[in-house]
Structure 1
Amino acid sequence: MPRLPYAADASETADRMRARRGGRLTPLDRLLLHSPPVADGWNRLLGAIRSESTLPDDIRELVILRVAVINRAEYEWAAHEPLARRGGLGDAHLAVLRDEGEPAVLAPAQRAALAYADAMTRDVEVPDELFDVLGEHFDQRQIVELTATVGAYNLVSRFLVAMQITPADRAAEARA
């Protein structure tokens, strides 16, 4: 159970969130609605990252899942694992993200994105040599989008963990 009760969801902000989510609000959305301006900004930012980015699906979901692992955000993992699989990541890739597999299964661009997500999430500062490798796989727009994705999902995961939103909350919401 989250640390706060769910907020009322009859508002224009909630309607915009539902539209982005295909008609339903998630437990995360229902907590964010305690602050409509924050919820609205969050919805727009994450909508842009998820649906207006030029990053390949496998790269986007790979870094989202890696952030979830590092920050111990199981809700985030549960929400994005199906998206990662649809984006082309298989069991061997997911094992690497959980530090249980062989990194050689990752393509060079995936390895570069993973190292970047690790540095941004664990150390905040990214060494120049690591940043320079990104240019071998991504254009400037994609590097900005990759950076924003890792940063945004650090925000998401830290919010989820702090508010104690779990996969059980997601499952309960799906049954409702």
Structure 2
Amino acid sequence: MEIRLDYMKVRPESLQTLLKLEGYVQKSGLEHKLWELIKIRASQINGCAFCIDMHTKDAVAAGETEQRLYLLNAWREAPFYTESERAALALTEAVTRISDAGVPKELYEQVRKHFDEKQFVDLIMAINGINCWNRMAISTGMIPGEYQPAAKK
């Protein structure tokens, strides 16, 4: 496998734009382990091997358990996720597949039981961010396997 093109070299501004969004979410106060679950779940739906590889490694470095990572694509049937994580994961799926059914009122209300208005916006920004990263990685042919987390978070 070969990368199609290195978008970071071709248009460094594109990377800076994505990093700005990443910085916003990082400063939002969204719990780091939840953010990694969101990134992994959206990446699973989108089929982004590069991002799945990266974010499972980051999640482990942040203290996430292998069991929860292994079962993430079947989170509805696994008892290892909190109600707020379940709400965020359901929102992740709905926003990632927005053209299927939008974000139904019932889901919005479920998420709002666990997250206030600002946190809801932050969740949407986090979900949109990873969806953008997925699309860049898939479109440019980024190859999984080489990423190593910087440090335990």
- The TM-score by the shorter chain falls in which range? 0.7 to 0.9
- Give per-residue Cα distances to partners, 1:86-126, cap 9 Å, x unaligned: 44431221122233884221110111011110111123411
**Which residue identity does 1:98 align to in structure 2?**
N
Aligned to 2:9: 33
Unaligned runs of 5+ in 1: 7-30, 172-176
1:37-48 to 2 correspondences below 5 Å: 37-48=13-24
Cα distance change of structure 1 residues 150 and 100 upon mapping to structure 2, 3 Å threshold: closer
One-letter identity of the residue aligned with 2:31: P
How many residues align? The count is: 146
Q: Which runs of 4+ in 1 moved over 2 A?
A: 36-40, 85-89, 98-103
Aligned residue runs from structure 1 range 136-147, under 5 A: 136-147=113-124
What whole-Å deviation, never above 9, does each CA across 1:40-94 have from its counterpart, x for those lacking one?
2222112222x21211112111110001100111111111113222444312211
Work out the CA distance in 2 between the residues paired with 1:145 and 1:106: 20
Q: Cα 1:140–1:33, aligned 2, differ >3 Å: closer, same or farther?
A: farther
Q: Percent identity?
A: 27
Unaligned runs of 5+ in 2: 148-153
Q: Distance in 2 between matches of 1:72 and 1:120?
A: 15
Based on CA coordinates, which of the two structures has the bigger radius of gyration?
Answer: 1
Give the distance between the partners of 1:100 and 1:136, measured in 2 at CA: 19
Matching of residues 95-134 of structure 1 within 5 Å: 95-99=70-74, 102-124=77-99, 125-134=102-111
> Partners in 1 of 2:76 and 2:57 — Cα distance?
19
Matches of 1:36 and 1:91 in 2, distance apart? 34
Aligned partners of 1:45 and 1:126: how far apart in 2?
22
The correspondence for 2:66, drawn from 88, 91, 97, is 91
Three-state SS of the structure 2 residue aligned to 1:111 is helix
Take 1:120 and 1:96, find their aligned partners in 2: how far apart are those partners? 20
Q: TM-score, normalised by structure 2?
A: 0.84
The offset of 1:38, in angstroms, is 2.3
